[in-house]
C-alpha cells in the first residue's frame, strides 16, 4: 500500500519505503530519555534509533528573537528550574541553561536548536514534528533550509480549535500556501475530523493520528482504520501513557502499560492486528523486540 497522493510521491518515498519494508513503524515520544539524557535532544534521538526506532517525535518552540528549539513548553520548571516560558526567552538565555536530568542533576549539554537536529538527522530516519502549530510559517522556513527535510519531516496539528491563541485554520492555511509540500498528519478525534482533513486542498496528507479515549469511540473501530487505508492514509496511534491522572487514555486500553506489565500481545500486538501502521511508544527497544519476534521484522 502506498500512502499519500501520487503527485507528492517523491516527497513521501522514504515513508512509504519504510512502511513497505516493516509494515508497522516505531515512533518514539521525545526520543529515549532517562538518566543523563534529556528529552527532545540529539542524544535522546540517538538512543531511540539505537533501540530500533524508525521515527522520533519532537516539540518545537520559538524564542522572542526567532530561534527554533526542540523543547516542550511547560517543562521549563523541570528542565531549567524557572517559571518563565521558553516562548518569552531569547536564544542567548536558552543556550545558557544547562538542563536537569532524570535524577535532578545538571547536564553540561544544552538543549538543541531545530536546525542542529535537522543537520544531524540520519538520512534514513523520519522526524515527527509536534506542538509547532502556532509557528508553522517559521517552522516551514526553517525546514526549507534543509533539503532532506522534505522527505523526512512529518508535521501534525489538530484540524479544529486554536493553540496558544492561534486558530488552527492559520496553521492549515500556511501548509496550503507553502510551495514545498511537507508530509502532514492531522490529529483526529472523530470521523468528522478525518473528513475535514480529506477536504484540505494543497496539503500533502499522508495519514491521521487517531485519538480514541474509549473502546466505543468511532476512531477505535476497525472500520475507521480501514476507511483511512481506502483513502491512502496511514493510521498512527499513541501507545504512550501520559500518566494515570493526566487526561484520558489516547487509544483505549492498548497502551505501553499493558504491553510492558502484562503481555505485549494484548497491547502492541492488538494494535498491529487492528491495522495500525505507526505506533508511538516510550519503550522502543521492547516494542522492537516484540515486532521482531511476532512479525519477524527487523
| Global pTM exceeds 0.95 | yes
Domain 6-72+112-295, what architecture? Alpha-Beta Barrel (3.20)
Q: Decide: 286 and 52 in contact? Cβ < 8 Å.
A: no
pLDDT at 103: 92
**Euclidean distance between the first and the last CA atom of the chain, given in angstroms as a whole number:** 19
pLDDT at 8: 98
SS3 58: strand
Q: Average of pLDDT values for 34-38?
A: 96
* Confidence bin at 244 (pLDDT 50/70/90): confident
Q: Decide: 188 and 159 in contact? Cβ < 8 Å.
A: yes
Q: State the DSSP code for 239.
A: -
pLDDT at 243: 85
**pLDDT tens-place string over residues 119-147:** 999 999 999 999 999 999 999 999 999 99
* Confidence bin at 163 (pLDDT 50/70/90): confident
Q: Decide: 143 and 153 in contact? Cβ < 8 Å.
A: yes
Per residue, the 3-state secondary structure of 166-222, as one string, reads EEHHHHHHHHHHCCCCCEEEEEECCHHHHHHHHCCCCCEECEEEECECCCCCHHHCH
* Confidence bin at 162 (pLDDT 50/70/90): confident
Q: Decide: 60 and 54 in contact? Cβ < 8 Å.
A: no
**pLDDT tens-place string over residues 60-112:** 999 999 999 999 999 999 999 999 999 999 999 999 999 999 999 999 999 99
Instruction: Give Cα separations from 24 to 19, 27, 53, 241 (angstroms).
Output: 6, 10, 11, 19
Ranges of beta strands (E only) in the chain are 25-28, 55-62, 68-70, 126-130, 153-158, 162-163, 166-167, 183-188, 204-205, 207-210, 234-238, 278-281
User: What gap in Å lies between CA 71 and CA 54, rounded to an integer?
Assistant: 21
Backbone angles phi, psi at 207, to 5 degrees: -175, 180
Sorted by sequence, the CB contacts under 8 Å of residue 174 that are 6+ apart come out as 136, 137, 140
Instruction: Give Cα separations from 288 to 22, 154, 284 (angstroms).
Output: 11, 21, 6
Residue 33, Ramachandran bin (φ over 0: left; ψ between -120 and 50: alpha; else beta): beta
Q: Decide: 168 and 143 in contact? Cβ < 8 Å.
A: no
Look at 8-12, 165-169, 243-247 and tell me which has the smallest mean pLDDT. Answer: 243-247
Amino acid at each position: 500500500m502506498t500512502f499519500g497522493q501520487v503527485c507528492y510521491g517523491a516527497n513521501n518515498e522514504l515513508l512509504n519505503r519504510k512502511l513497505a519494508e516493516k509494515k508497522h513503524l516505531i515512533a518514539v515520544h521525545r526520543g529515549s530519555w532517562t538518566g543523563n539524557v534529556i528529552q527532545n535532544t540529539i542524544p535522546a534521538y540517538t538512543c531511540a534509533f539505537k533501540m530500533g526506532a524508525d521515527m522520533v517525535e519532537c516539540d518545537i518552540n520559538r524564542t522572542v528573537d526567532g530561534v527554533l528549539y526542540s523543547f516542550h513548553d511547560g517543562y521549563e520548571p523541570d528542565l531549567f528550574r524557572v517559571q518563565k516560558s521558553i516562548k518569552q526567552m531569547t536564544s542567548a538565555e536558552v543556550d545558557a541553561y544547562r538542563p536537569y536530568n532524570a535524577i535532578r542533576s545538571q547536564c553540561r549539554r544544552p538543549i538543541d536548536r531545530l536546525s542542529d537536529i535537522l543537520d544531524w538527522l540520519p538520512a534514513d530516519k523520519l522526524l515527527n514534528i509536534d506542538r509547532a502549530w502556532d509557528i508553522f510559517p517559521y517552522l516551514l522556513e526553517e525546514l526549507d533550509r534543509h533539503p532532506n527535510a522534505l522527505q523526512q519531516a512529518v508535521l501534525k496539528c489538530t484540524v479544529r480549535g486554536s493553540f496558544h491563541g492561534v486558530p488552527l485554520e492559520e496553521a492549515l492555511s500556511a501548509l496550503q500556501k507553502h510551495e514545498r509540500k511537507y508530509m502532514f498528519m492531522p490529529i483526529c478525534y472523530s470521523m468528522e475530523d478525518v473528513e475535514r482533513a480529506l477536504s484540505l486542498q494543497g496539503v500533502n496528507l499522508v495519514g491521521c493520528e487517531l485519538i480514541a479515549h474509549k473502546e466505543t469511540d468511532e476512531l477505535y473501530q476497525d472500520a475507521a482504520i480501514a476507511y483511512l487505508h481506502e483513502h491512502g492514509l496511514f493510521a498512527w496511534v499513541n501507545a504512550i501513557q501520559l500518566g494515570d491522572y493526566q487526561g484520558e487514555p489516547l487509544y483505549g486500553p492498548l497502551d505501553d502499560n499493558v504491553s510492558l506489565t502484562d503481555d505485549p500481545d494484548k497491547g502492541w500486538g492488538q494494535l498491529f492486528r487492528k491495522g495500525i501502521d505507526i505506533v508511538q511508544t516510550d519503550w522502543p527497544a521492547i516494542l522492537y523486540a516484540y515486532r521482531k519476534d511476532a512479525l519477524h521484522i527487523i
